[in-house]
Structure 1
Amino acid sequence: MRKRPEFESERERVQAGEIRFAIVGCGHIAGKHLEAIQQAEGAALAALCDPNLTRVSALAESWNVPAYAGMAEMLDREPDIDAVCICTPSGLHAELAIAAARAGKHLVIEKPLALCAEEAESIGEAAAAAGVKATVVHPNRYRPAIRHLKEALDRKMFGKLSHVNATVRWNRSQAYYDQAAWRGTVAMDGGVLMNQGIHSLDLLLWLFGPVAEVRSWVDTRIRNMEAEDTAIAALKFANGTLGVVEACTTVYEHNLEESLAVFGENGYVLIGGRTANWIKAWNCVKMPDEEIGRIMAEVEADPYGVPGHERIIADMVEAIRTGREPAVTLEEGARAVRLAWDIVRNGR
């Protein structure tokens, strides 16, 4: 790890961009946060926290930082922590985020922000009252293909849109759900929409605006779990655009595809692959062939770009340093939660 520079004052440290992060929850997703903190300029790892002492101690030793079983003790004993990454099961996000905010710590919260609208709103209220910055991890916004699509939509290149389509046709085996008692539960994990499909819902809201009407069907068709493993929804956006969402974890026996399709009066775009990183089709009468060719060549050469988690950590460093809001706001995270909840509630 990089050696931490020394500063004469806390203000000097923050202005210089030395923002110290702690990670709460050291399961699989914590690895992406560790890598992002290591790579992002101005970020440093200060501590790790997980009730599984064997796991957190081994990880902390490899990263040369202290380990804690509880967040309260960590924040009490490590006062130089600036921001906390919440990487626990989703059902714990609200409790931990609110406690960290009240302790004066900025927040990076894994998706979904919470498992219901009320908890999401409580996190927002706590962050606002404490005056801390907070963001939600929606890294798919930073995929090169998605960034190019966003730019084209902002330029109105496709004109009036007729409809859009988002699919998540993935596999999560029964063994995946059986590996931990909280997986697939309504209280701690949610189903395919809150867990896997939440990124697609965030993209739909970010790209096309708020949803005015939802009609849906959700069910637990194949997996032995409490929440849904399959969801189908028809959406009507506030601007009149129609949308379809299809999400499942029941595809046999590997992930098949994740896609986003956009259809307008001037053309269409299909972004797909096993993950929605590749441009499968781009046809737009308002864009020169040379521009379309350049976009497709850039994405083909580097479909992943800078990892989204790294972009989110770097954005939080800059937000804390300058006082601006993070690029992905709590309200945007809450909108995705509300849409997922509306689909489930209307579809049962």
Structure 2
Amino acid sequence: MNFAIVGCGFIAKKHATSIDKIDAAKLVAVCDKVPATMEFYKEKYDAKPYTKLEQVLEKEDIDVVCICTPSGFHASIAVQIAEAKKHIIVEKPIAMTIEDTNKIIDACNVNNVKLAVVHPNRFRPVVQELRKIMDRGLLGKISHASCIVNWNRNQEYYDQAPWRGTKQHDGGVLMNQAIHNLDLLLWFIGNPEQVFSMEATRFRNIEAEDVSVGTIKFDSGAIGTVEASTTVYPKNYEESLTIFGENGTVKIGGTNALYFEHLDIMDMSDYEINELKESIKADPWGTPGHQWIIEDMVNANNENRNPAVTGVDGKNALKLVLSFYESAKINQPVYY
């Protein structure tokens, strides 16, 4: 399948590298309003550069377009691509509002094109193993879960581009960093019923939040807590997900949530637990998440199925972030 990338900033290189590693995929075009940003892709991948998306869609034989622009532009670009009958892989968040998200999903449905959202943490080896544990019901009934992202993003990070840290095009730590972990929380625990959140902008000179703490009540009765920040000194400190069940406790942790920090399950022997821990340590990153998602799009097309991370999945993660924002704004619980 032939791929194009729209928006040639930092994250686009992950898409290009992943496309290059997949035999059934080829990067044929890139698009950015700043010509200089496309030189790398032209030289390394022989991708044709365009400054207008309509030129890419009209002149090139494209099957899939990867959207890597600032988040606030996702919706208008995605609708244009869908109307051109091209499949879409869009970086997180899928959009900045539910209204824009619905426009994307509706355009893809009307034009019969596939839509995948980049939530690559689902494909980390340790997360895939936890998914198997949950699918087997080994934890039993869940009482509560904890999601933590305490990272560092200094002022220089936000000053790289004028859209970073804005509410219109980027959002804060929940929208930009912790949304991946919120996606996992939803994937493992289920649908929220009620949320309450407090947030602040403590250290960074940005419009959005740099620290947030919230709680979730799920429709199952389980409780969740979320702690996220980009204020940690001097570097990333912790990314973790802990699930407490009646028959087991699991914590995925470390700086980037790559390892089983705690694994204690009634129906798993010590030998089985140790073997699983060691297998993860041997290859904690596995196949990069972006490569998983791009290859899955190829396979979804060949197998005539939905991608692994759908537009609805992206919408659910966005809705949780926006619910936290609303709760913090009104200082009241928000009901789903």
Q: TM-score, normalised by structure 1?
A: 0.93
Letter in 2 for 1:31: K
The answer to whether the 8 Å contact 1:41/1:314 transfers is no
Partner of 1:6: none
Asked whether the equivalents of residues 107 and 134 of structure 1 are also in contact (C-alpha less than 8 Å), the reply is yes
Partner residue of 1:305?
286
Which of residues 70, 73, 79 in structure 1 aligns to 2:55? 73
Per-residue Cα deviation, 1:208-252 (whole angstroms, up to 9, x for no partner): 111111011111121111011111111011111110000010111
Cα distance in 1 for partners of 2:41, 2:286 equals 27
- Paired with 2:77 and 2:316, the residues of 1 have a C-alpha distance of 20
Matched, 1:176 2:157: yes
Q: How does 1:43-122 map to 2 (within 5 A)?
A: 43-78=25-60, 80-122=61-103
Shift of 1:290: 2.1
CA displacement at 1:70 relative to structure 2: 1.4
**Residues 79-228 of structure 1 mapped to structure 2, 5 A cutoff:** 80-228=61-209
RMSD: 0.9
Q: Which residue of 2 aligns with 1:28?
A: 10
Q: Secondary structure at the match of 2:72?
A: helix
Consecutive unaligned residues in structure 2, runs of 5 or more = 330-336
Q: Does 1:233 align with 2:233?
A: no
Kindly indicate whether residue 284 of structure 2 is the aligned counterpart of residue 319 of structure 1.
no
Shift of 1:57: 2.9
For the residue of structure 2 that corresponds to 1:205, the secondary structure is: helix
Between the aligned partners of 2:308 and 2:276, the Cα distance in structure 1 is 23
3-state SS of 1:72 partner:
helix
Report the secondary structure of 1:196's partner residue.
Answer: helix
User: Do the aligned partners of 2:28 and 2:46 also contact (CA within 8 Å) in 1?
Assistant: no
1:300 and 1:186 map into 2 onto residues whose CA distance is 38
Q: What TM-score do the two structures reach when normalised by structure 2?
A: 0.96
Q: For the Cα contact (< 8 Å) 1:21–1:84, is it kept in 2?
A: yes
After TM superposition, the structure 1 = structure 2 runs for residues 248-263 of structure 1, keeping only pairs within 5 Å, are 248-263=229-244
Question: Percent identity over the alignment?
Answer: 47
How far off its partner does 1:331 sit? 0.2
Other-structure match for 2:315: 334
- Give how far 1:73 is off: 1.4
1:201 CA displacement:
0.6
CA distance in 1, matches of 2:186, 2:193: 11
- Tell me the alpha carbon deviations over residues 272-326 of structure 1, each in whole angstroms, 9 at most, x when there is no partner: 1110001111011121222211211110111111111111011000111221110
User: Structure 1: 5+ residue runs without aligned partners?
Assistant: 1-18
How is 1:2-41 mapped onto 2 (pairs within 5 angstroms)?
19-41=1-23
Q: Partner residue of 2:332?
A: none
Match in the other structure for 1:279? 260
Partner Cα separation in structure 1 for residue 273 and residue 157 of structure 2: 40
1:150 & 1:27 partners in 2: Cα distance?
Answer: 32
Alpha-carbon distance in structure 1 between the residues aligned to 2:6 and 2:209: 27
- 1:315 is paired with a residue of what secondary structure? helix
Name the SS for the 2:217 alignment partner: strand
Query: Helix, strand or coil: the match of 2:121?
Result: helix
For 2:44 and 2:289, how far apart are their aligned partners in 1? 24
Report the CA distance between 1:120 and its aligned residue: 0.9
Provide the residue aligned with 1:10 in structure 2. Answer: none
In the aligned structure 2, how far is the partner of 1:245 from the partner of 1:234? 6
Deviations 1:167-194, CA, capped at 9 Å, x for gaps: 0000110111112110000011111111
Contact 2:212 2:229 in 1 (8 A): yes
Aligned to 1:247: 228
Q: Partner residue of 2:334?
A: none
- TM-fit CA distance, 1:207: 1.0
Native 8 Å contact 1:48 1:68 kept in 2: yes
Q: Whole-Å Cα distance in 2 between the matches of residues 58 and 260 of structure 1? A: 37
- How far did 1:268 drift? 0.6
Counterpart in the other structure of 2:325 = 344
* 3-state SS in 2 of match to 1:182: coil
Aligned residue identity for 1:38: D
1:119-153: CA deviation from partner (whole Å, max 9, x where unpaired) = 11110000000100010001100111111111111
Structure 2 distance, partners of 1:82, 1:21, is: 6
Q: Report the CA distance between 1:77 and its aligned residue.
A: 1.3
Partner amino acid, structure 1, of 2:251 = L
Deviation beyond 4 Å, 4+ runs, structure 1: none
Is 1:269 the counterpart of 2:253 in the alignment? no
Deviations 1:46-101 (A, max 9, x none): 101111101113431221121011111111111x1000000011111111111100
Deviations 1:251-275 (A, max 9, x none): 1111111000111111211111110
